Amino acid sequence: MTYNPNKHHRRSIRLKGYDYSQAGLYYITICTQNRACLFGKIKNGKMILNDAWRLIE
């Protein structure tokens, strides 16, 4: 598959001029290949982290 800049582009949703290195609450989304549950599981509506995610902490 060849790269087509008209089709394959991403727009930044970051605020221009905002310093994201400062302390604050940030919401991130992590997508895994094939949506594999690599970091834990959901049980009764809560995320139960596994050891792989604890390494990241």
State how far the Cα of 55 lies from the Cα of 57, in Å rounded to an integer: 5
pLDDT surpassing 90 at residue 1 = no
Segment 38-51 shows an average pLDDT of: 89
pLDDT surpassing 80 at residue 45 = yes
The pTM of this model reads: 0.42
Work out the percent of the chain whose per-residue pLDDT is above 90: 21
7-44 per-residue burial string, b: 16 or more CB within 10 A, e: under 16:
eeeeeeeeeeeeeeeeeeeeeeeeeeeeeeeebeeeee
